[in-house]
Amino acid sequence: MSAVAAPGVELNVTESAAVEIKKFFEGEDDLPETAGLRVRVVPGGCSGFQYSLNIEEESRQGDHILDRHGIRLFVDMFSAQYLNGVVIDHTTNMMGSGFTFENPNATGGCGCGTSFSA
């Protein structure tokens, strides 16, 4: 399976997010070398779209494959249009900890910060 060059999607991961993502990978047993983190946009949430992060064993045909801080990211063609320029971060505050998404493409959002409109 050939990798698709990804001139159309620029997705960034902060160092703190990379550390947390690597913890998830370390918690998985027997992941192949081809494994990566699928970053997707799916319909839902209070603003129309929400983000999805899943560990997958290999990329799918048509995926953009990116490497950030030694983490392989898979982005499907549909999600790429909404994820271009997004920065994934991991923050900890009084309300807890979790991944945040800074999306320059979003035209609106919600109070919970997990969904957006574009």
Residue 52 included in any domain:
yes
pTM: 0.82
pLDDT tens across the length of the chain (118 residues): 555 554 568 999 999 999 999 999 999 989 999 999 999 999 887 778 889 999 999 999 999 999 999 999 999 999 999 999 999 999 988 878 899 899 887 776 665 555 556 5
Q: How many domains does the chain have?
A: 1
Long-range contact pairs involving 89-92 (C-beta distance under 8 Å, separation at least 24): 89/14, 89/16, 89/17, 90/14, 90/16, 90/17, 90/19, 90/20, 91/16
Residue 6 included in any domain:
no
Residue 3 included in any domain:
no
The closest alpha carbon to 8, from 72, 79, 57, belongs to 79
Cβ count within 10 A of residue 71: 17
Residue 4 included in any domain:
no
- CATH (domain of 84): 2.60.300.12
Residue 95: domain span: 12-117
pLDDT at 44: 80
